[in-house]
Amino acid sequence: MRQRAVAVIECPQEIPCNPCETACPRGAIRVGEPITNCPELDATLCSGCGLCLTACPGLAIFLVARNPGGEAEVTFPYEFLPLPELGAEVEAVNRKGQRVGTGRVVAVRQPKGADGTWLITLAVPDDLAADVRGMRRINRE
């Protein structure tokens, strides 16, 4: 059975920012006072809806779901065109843009109100889930 997706927050700086807290309909993310606090997640409240991903101006929130059979799904914000096609094989990259493996695009969606930010979900080997934070197309020429 597929595990539910849960947000992973990798906010590296204490800056005045709280759109993720405001966007979460279940109150799973807390910044509090002062507004420069790094956000904290209560994973038991997280529904995996992804609204925080598109609200975060720093693109620093991801969803991770671990599936049976050694596969995981990583969802990340994506702001480039053209969008990848479902089923496409892509390079899975870490937060520095370094290739860490390959993944398969299993979902492309734009939550309501997410102007210009799409959510891409990659299926990747489970051992890569903690590192994958984006994708790069594979050049087939």
Q: In the sheet that 118-125 helps form, which strands lie side by side, from edge to edge? A: 6-9, 61-67, 71-78, 118-125, 99-109, 89-93, 134-137
Question: The tokens of 104 are what?
Answer: 């398969």
Give the whole-angstrom CA distance, residue 30 versus residue 32. Answer: 6
Please give the single-letter amino acid code of residue 68: P
Q: List the chain pLDDT tens, one digit each, 141 residues.
A: 567 899 999 998 889 999 999 999 999 999 999 999 999 999 999 999 999 999 999 999 999 999 888 999 999 999 999 999 999 999 999 999 999 999 999 999 998 877 889 999 999 999 999 999 999 988 765
- Provide the whole-model pTM: 0.92
Q: How confident is the model at residue 12, as a pLDDT?
A: 81
Please give the single-letter amino acid code of residue 114: A
Q: How confident is the model at residue 140, as a pLDDT?
A: 61
CA nearest 89: which of 74, 78, 104?
104
Q: How confident is the model at residue 95, as a pLDDT?
A: 93
Give me the phi and psi of 63, to 5 degrees please.
-115, 140
Helix or strand holding residue 52 (H, E): helix 51-55
Q: How confident is the model at residue 78, as a pLDDT?
A: 96
Sign of the four-CA dihedral 26, 30, 34, 38? negative
